[in-house]
């Protein structure tokens, strides 16, 4: 069964979706799902607001629904200052999957259009990819790395291409392979035009660096978005030779 490995419910600040609706929709679409609620311990410090949830209440509410087609995860915002605390949380609960995300970098909000507009494109992308590599190496307990294109969505920059930042991408992907961290394919945006060209380039580069597995992620915040753009993603991954996986009890599953 294909799993959608990244989505949010009412335990996340930016969703009001009910777990029952997700389960009903996933069954209709014949997809497994993993809920991955937001925990960004540093977000208030970058001019945002607290992004957190009660993990005990999460398990109390959703554990009863756990099955072969519904698994429980978490999305953690990575930051040097919180590595120890995040690892402690990841190790203290029976998550099926732990996603690592970069929503911030060195005290800046990566969805800040003002910040991104102030940065020179190539300098920013080089720093971002290097920082991502550092975060992967420092947080080797994560299972997957989310949405490499996150800052691009909020910036005036062109889409990332592997060949434009060979040294930085090679270093990042080699670290991911060494740490056994899977690259997520986040499908919040349709795979078409420049986005498709970017994804083809980046995931082919990942494969060339030894990456063999990818998680599929709708990043849904409403039930209707479960599995969005999966058909196009599966075709792209087949073309490259990458295998789709998900995680159960923190172990990679490829069936």
Q: Are 209 and 167 in contact (CB under 8 A)?
A: no
Q: Quick one: which H or E segment has residue 39?
A: strand 32-39
Domain regions of the chain by residue span: 76-253
The backbone torsions φ and ψ at residue 184, rounded to the nearest 5 degrees and listed phi first, read -75, 145
* The pLDDT of residue 44 is above 80: no
Q: Are 128 and 148 in contact (CB under 8 A)?
A: no
The predicted-structure confidence for 211-229, as pLDDT tens digits, reads as follows 999 999 999 999 999 999 9
Mean pLDDT, residues 30-41 taken together: 96
* The pLDDT of residue 255 is above 90: no
Q: Are 252 and 238 in contact (CB under 8 A)?
A: no
Helix axes 166-179, 193-208, angle to 10 degrees: 60
DSSP 220: B
Work out the percent of the chain whose per-residue pLDDT is above 70: 98
DSSP bridge partners of 214: 183, 244
Q: Are 164 and 197 in contact (CB under 8 A)?
A: no
pTM of the model: 0.96
* The pLDDT of residue 31 is above 70: yes
The predicted-structure confidence for 169-178, as pLDDT tens digits, reads as follows 999 999 999 9
CA separation for the pair 33, 16 (Å, rounded): 17
* The pLDDT of residue 50 is above 80: no
* The pLDDT of residue 45 is above 90: no
| Lowest mean pLDDT, pick from 10-19, 46-55, 88-97 | 46-55
Nearest to 160 by CA among 148, 170, 145, 173: 148
Mean pLDDT, residues 14-28 taken together: 97
Pairing of strands 251-253, 243-248: antiparallel
CATH fold of 76-253, please? Answer: TIM Barrel (3.20.20)
The predicted-structure confidence for 55-112, as pLDDT tens digits, reads as follows 999 999 999 999 999 999 999 999 999 999 999 999 999 999 999 999 999 889 999 9
* Structural Rg of the chain based on CA atoms: 17
pLDDT tier, 118 (very low <50, low <70, confident <90, very high otherwise) = very high
């Amino acid at each position: 069964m294909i799993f959608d490995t990244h989505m949010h419910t009412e335990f996340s600040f930016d969703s009001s979706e009910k777990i029952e609706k997700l389960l009903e929709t996933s069954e209709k679409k014949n997809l497994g799902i993993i809920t991955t609620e937001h925990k960004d311990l540093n977000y208030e410090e970058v001019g945002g607001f607290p992004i957190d949830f009660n993990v005990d209440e999460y398990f109390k509410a959703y554990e009863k629904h756990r099955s072969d087609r519904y698994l429980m995860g978490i999305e953690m915002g990575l930051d040097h200052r919180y590595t120890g605390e995040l690892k402690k949380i990841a190790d203290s609960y029976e998550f099926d999957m732990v996603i690592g995300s970069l929503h911030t970098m060195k005290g800046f909000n990566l969805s800040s259009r003002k910040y991104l507009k102030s940065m020179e494109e190539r300098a920013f992308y080089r720093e971002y990819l290097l920082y991502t590599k550092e975060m992967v190496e420092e947080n080797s307990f994560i299972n997957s790395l989310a949405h490499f294109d996150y800052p691009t969505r909020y910036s005036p920059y062109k889409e990332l291409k592997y060949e434009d930042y060979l040294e930085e991408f090679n270093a990042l992907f080699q670290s991911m392979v060494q740490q056994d961290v899977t690259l997520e394919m986040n499908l919040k945006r349709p795979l078409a035009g420049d986005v498709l060209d970017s994804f083809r380039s980046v995931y082919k580069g990942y494969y060339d660096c030894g990456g063999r597995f990818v998680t599929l992620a709708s990043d849904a915040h409403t039930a209707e978005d479960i599995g969005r753009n999966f058909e196009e993603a599966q075709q792209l991954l087949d073309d490259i030779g990458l295998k789709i996986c998900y995680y159960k009890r923190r172990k990679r599953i490829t069936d």
